[in-house]
Chain A
Amino acid sequence: MLADAISAERFRLLKDRGTLFWGVLFAPIAGLALNIGGELFARSLMKGAPPIPVDLVGRMVKALADGASPVVGLFVLILSTAVLAGDYRWETWRLLTPRNGRVNLLLAKLATVAGAVAISLVLYALAAALGGLFSAATSGGALVAYRGSAGVDLLGTFAISWLQLMVLAALSALVGVVTRSTMGALIVGLVFAAVQSIVASQLHEPSLKALAIPAFSGDLLKTVLLTPRSVVDEPAPWALALGFLAAWLAGLTAAALALFQRQDLTRE
């Protein structure tokens, strides 16, 4: 059953401390360290400067919006390749496939990665908030209210970045199955994340070609979400962008499942 496979994968990930640290915890820890380090550095440069007001929710929304950047993507790829392609590396598929269906096994891995990515994103946002609290405490800056709909913006940016990161995870599942290599999945995923980010930053018009790039779709969705309606000239094709992101995730997952179901596990 799928529930059994998910329990087993979750148990296994909790025991894999290296992957947990690098894939789930490192980005939030590094984010917190950069927040605090940046604050201390800025204070040392601007001695006597007036206190800066701190918007905790705004910092969290920004962190979540930046959560699908290639840098954060690298750590998600470390997580996803270890979970999704690790059994090729350790030659342990032969241990698992007789105990549960192949579709269940791969879906359970994706579900486990999905949960871990969500936790990592939440921690990343909390790290940004902690950095804000540090800033307020050291500079004496007042905490100010978020100008916008906090719940919608937090949930929205979280969901969009999570979807973008899950596209990377699904890609590493597919490449992992095809290459039977964690390194192959990691490198292809990283190149994909970097190239799509660069290309998306060069494009401005939401054409179909541009929307087909997950990074462009994700950025467009976040822009639509966070831009006040009063300053929008014309409606952006957000539904199409969301559709493209969902299609990437579904397509890559389906392709990985189809290949894995037919794959000969002669030497994992």
Chain B
Amino acid sequence: MSFALEAEGLTKTYGAVRALDDLTLKIPAGGVFGVLGPNGAGKSTLFRIAMGLVRPTSGVARLSGSPAGHASSLRQVGAMIETPRYPPYLTARDALKMLALQSGARDVDIDGWLDRVGLSGAADRKTSTYSVGMKQRLGLAAVFFTRPTLAILDEPTSGMDPAGIQEIRELIRRLAAEEGATIILASHQLDEVRRVCDRVAILAKGRLVAEGPVETLAGRKPALRLVASPVAQVLEILGEQAAADGPDAVLAQIERHEAPALIRALVGAGVDIHEARWREADLESAYLDILQAKEPADAR
């Protein structure tokens, strides 16, 4: 298996503060990988080390097998670390042109990328007049326009309103599908991570506390919640696949493709179905449980 980002025993201290504490983490190449954690968990420090902005106190980090921060590894990477900033006297078009020149990228379709991120109408406005959301969108163009094999997005929706978050989320999903790059996404938006990521790692106080597929970490697969009567008959038909969820509902642990047949069978057996809804994996509860479980361990 090849890894997009590997950290081995990575430690970074700032004076008395340990931003990363012997972190070992391997992020596989391909798909969208989420990195979760509260403020100060070490997410941005990990990314800054990966991009060569910060030197680790000890340990090593590698990007696609090459030492992190080296020109050879960075050539394949695009990154948006925290809120993107630009020289205020540059327009969006100038900013992308300057970055293309800096990267040595000759054939970059700057107008095409500005169009893809919805900024073609503001391409000649100075970035100092941009809203946070527009800066984030320009940042996404700056990440992807050199066609990297790995994109690191650190809080790409921070400071944005719900509509902007939705817009950026859609954009990330679209770019991930169209560009085929591995995406590492750090976010406080658990819903965003659940919807966009295949796997996640949870960091706390500079350490890895959990890692795995979103559904596994969430503790259960999506389940079909049926509000039906009589409940007892539904439980009898489903057997071990079902569990009562309150007095008038049942949670059926089935695969999505089994749902139509199950509903037909239940209706055929004389069950009245008032509501059928998929309950998604609950990443938020799992995330909070994991962090709370970590707290007492730290206190000891």
Contact = CB atoms under 8 A, between A and B. Distances in A.
B99 A15 contact: no
Contact of B53 (A12, A86, A264): A264
B23 interface: no
A95 B54 contact: no
Contacts, number: 81
B54 A101 contact: no
Given A11-B98, A12-B98, A266-B48, A98 B89 contact: no
A94 B71 CA distance: 14
A265 interface: yes
A12 B90 CA distance: 8
B18 interface: no
B53 A93 contact: yes
Interface stretch (A1-9, A217-225, A249-257): A1-9
A11 B86 CA distance: 14
Nearest to A108: B102
A18 B71 contact: no
Interface residues of A, number: 28
B104 A4 contact: yes
Contacts of B55: 262, 264
Contacts of A93: 53
Given A98-B52, A98-B77, A265-B54, A90 B86 contact: yes
A91 B87 CA distance: 9
A5 B97 CA distance: 12
A7 B79 contact: no
A17 interface: yes
Nearest to A16: B89
Interface string A1-39: 100110110011001111000000000000000000000
Contacts of B292: none
A97 interface: yes
Contacts of A1: 104
A95 B53 contact: no
Given A91-B85, A265-B48, A97 B53 contact: yes
A99 B74 contact: yes
A16 B103 contact: no
Interface string B60-104: 000000000001001001110110111111100010011101111
Contacts of A262: 55
Contacts of A4: 101-104
A100 B77 CA distance: 12
Contact of B103 (A90, A94, A99, A265): A99
Interface string B34-59: 00000000000000100111110000
A240 to B, nearest CB: 39
Contact of A18 (B79, B84, B89): B89
A96 interface: yes
B10 to A, nearest CB: 14
Interface string A79-97: 0000000100011111111
A95 B154 CA distance: 13
Given A91-B85, A100-B104, A266-B48, 6 more contacts: A15-B89, A90-B85, A90-B88, A95-B99, A262-B55, A266-B54
Interface of B: 14, 48, 51-55, 71, 74, 77-79, 81-82, 84-90, 94, 97-99, 101-104, 142
Interface of A: 1, 4-5, 7-8, 11-12, 15-18, 86, 90-101, 262, 264-266
